[in-house]
Chains A and B, each alone.
Chain A
């Protein structure tokens, strides 16, 4: 603590006046001047780009109208480019593309075979391969497919009649149809929609698989190995395991089958 001086009174103002005395030494100004001269020369030499000069060239009053005009132009261009008519067109293009992508794989035929009841309820969904126009590129692409991949694709939608669970479901459905036809119709309508979606998903996945498998020979070998193993469960496995495996492989929903197959860069995995 400072010794008290009865004659003086230190206030906050007095303390702040101390800051006026905080000044650099005269030597500092020599260096300051040299640095400033360097910066000044650099500023003289430095060329400004046109957008840096622009604010100085334009009067301040012009900023607002120019900004407003820019915003208006941007809005008009945005509306023109991303307007509603374009969205409708995009939608149409998208559906056309979807139908093209479904066609070449011909999953629908196998699905139609796997779900005959659905085919009765919604005949327009399960179109035959002859009805669906197949683009030339897709034909060429499918011709180039390795044999193993084609086998795998044909395996991907097994016939439901072979599956005991499918047989039981079909029997139950037939019984229900006799007793409550309205309920069955409403159920089948919903199922038809979901089935259509599953067909599309299945087709898209198949296209992906085809594209991937056509590239790598190692992957082809893996797929071939996989396809060989699909239909012949390990004979050494117990009877219960084999039966469960067969049943699971023969489940009705084709989309769920596709989701079980996992394709990665160097391996194919199957989920049970």
Chain B
């Protein structure tokens, strides 16, 4: 799979990201040399991003916690095989996505939501004011309902469609990156994205203006 190439190319486009990748590789070398505690640096750095990716695919915080931990453990066990051909986050991301997909395939029939609270104090919470002009408890109720419906609609999508919409709309990957990640053509990605958006629009029509 060209997953690593995709991410290395994506990250390599930005010099900051390249610098970040190099720094990560230095830490990885320390872990490979036997400094186990150095792995904590990597874990603390990437745990939230990794958690976000897994959470958006599962919509279950308990499962997400377990799967993220499993991904870190797998990465830790296999870190001696990491040779720096891609960025560490790319490699870690690949492990997490594969672990999540395997979990989702095993538990196809089980859809149990356990959602995280929306962090309103976040600087990006201007999104919330875009979504509603309500205030007080009415606003909270509305946001909670919207969150539930959104996650419900996401889980109604197939794994492939969910993955496309997560990678594109939430993680911000490009079409070509997603195409390489999912081993399909860009056209297929666009088509899946279009279908997924249409489906979500149909499901969430009530909340669109």
Binding site for B on A (CB under 8 A): 1-5, 8-25, 28-29, 32-33, 35-36, 39-40, 43-44, 56
Which stretch in B1-9, B92-100, B118-126, B183-191 binds the other chain? B118-126
Task: Tell me the smallest distance from the CB of B112 to a CB of chain A, in Å.
Answer: 16
Neighbouring B residues of A24 by C-beta, 8 Å? 51, 61, 116
Which of A1, A12, A44, A56 is within 8 Å of B206, CB to CB? A1
Q: Report whether A2 and B119 are in contact in the complex, using a CB–CB cutoff of 8 Å.
A: no
Neighbouring B residues of A29 by C-beta, 8 Å? 47
Which of B39, B43, B127, B133 is within 8 Å of A14, CB to CB? B127
A-B pairs, top 6 by smallest CB distance, nearest first, are: A22-B116, A16-B169, A10-B209, A21-B118, A36-B69, A23-B119
Per-residue contact bits, chain B 116-147, to A (CB 8 Å; 1 contact, 0 not): 11111010110110111110000000110011
On whether A32 and B201 interact (CB within 8 A), knowing A2-B142, A3-B133, A10-B130, the answer reads no
Binding site for A on B (CB under 8 A): 36, 39, 43-44, 47-48, 51-52, 55-56, 61, 65, 68-70, 72-73, 76-77, 81, 115-120, 122, 124-125, 127-128, 130-134, 142-143, 146-147, 150-151, 154, 165, 169-170, 197, 200-201, 204, 206-209
Q: Report whether B77 and A43 are in contact in the complex, using a CB–CB cutoff of 8 Å.
A: yes
Which secondary structure dominates where chain A touches chain B?
helix
Neighbouring B residues of A56 by C-beta, 8 Å? 81
Q: How far is the CA of A12 from the CA of B44 in the complex (A)?
A: 32
Q: Report whether A18 and B122 are in contact in the complex, using a CB–CB cutoff of 8 Å.
A: no
Task: Tell me the smallest distance from the CB of B134 to a CB of chain A, in Å.
Answer: 7
Q: Report whether B131 and A15 are in contact in the complex, using a CB–CB cutoff of 8 Å.
A: yes
On whether A15 and B207 interact (CB within 8 A), knowing A5-B133, A29-B47, the answer reads yes
Task: Among B61, B120, B125, B208, find the residue whose CB has the most chain A CB atoms closer than 10 A.
Answer: B208
On whether A36 and B116 interact (CB within 8 A), knowing A10-B207, A23-B122, the answer reads no
Which secondary structure dominates where chain B touches chain A?
helix
Q: Report whether A11 and B208 are in contact in the complex, using a CB–CB cutoff of 8 Å.
A: yes
Task: Tell me the smallest distance from the CB of B120 to a CB of chain A, in Å.
Answer: 7
Q: List 5 A-B pairs, Cβ < 8 Å.
A: A18-B143, A22-B55, A22-B119, A24-B51, A32-B69
Q: Report whether B116 and A16 are in contact in the complex, using a CB–CB cutoff of 8 Å.
A: no
Task: Tell me the smallest distance from the CB of B73 to a CB of chain A, in Å.
Answer: 5
Q: How far is the CA of A175 from the CA of B54 in the complex (A)?
A: 93
Q: Report whether A22 and B147 are in contact in the complex, using a CB–CB cutoff of 8 Å.
A: yes
Neighbouring A residues of B48 by C-beta, 8 Å? 23
Q: Report whether A23 and B150 are in contact in the complex, using a CB–CB cutoff of 8 Å.
A: no
Q: Report whether A10 and B73 are in contact in the complex, using a CB–CB cutoff of 8 Å.
A: no
Neighbouring B residues of A2 by C-beta, 8 Å? 131-134, 142, 207, 209
Q: How far is the CA of A56 from the CA of B124 in the complex (A)?
A: 44
Q: Report whether A15 and B204 are in contact in the complex, using a CB–CB cutoff of 8 Å.
A: yes
Q: Report whether B51 and A18 are in contact in the complex, using a CB–CB cutoff of 8 Å.
A: no
Q: How far is the CA of A1 from the CA of B55 in the complex (A)?
A: 28
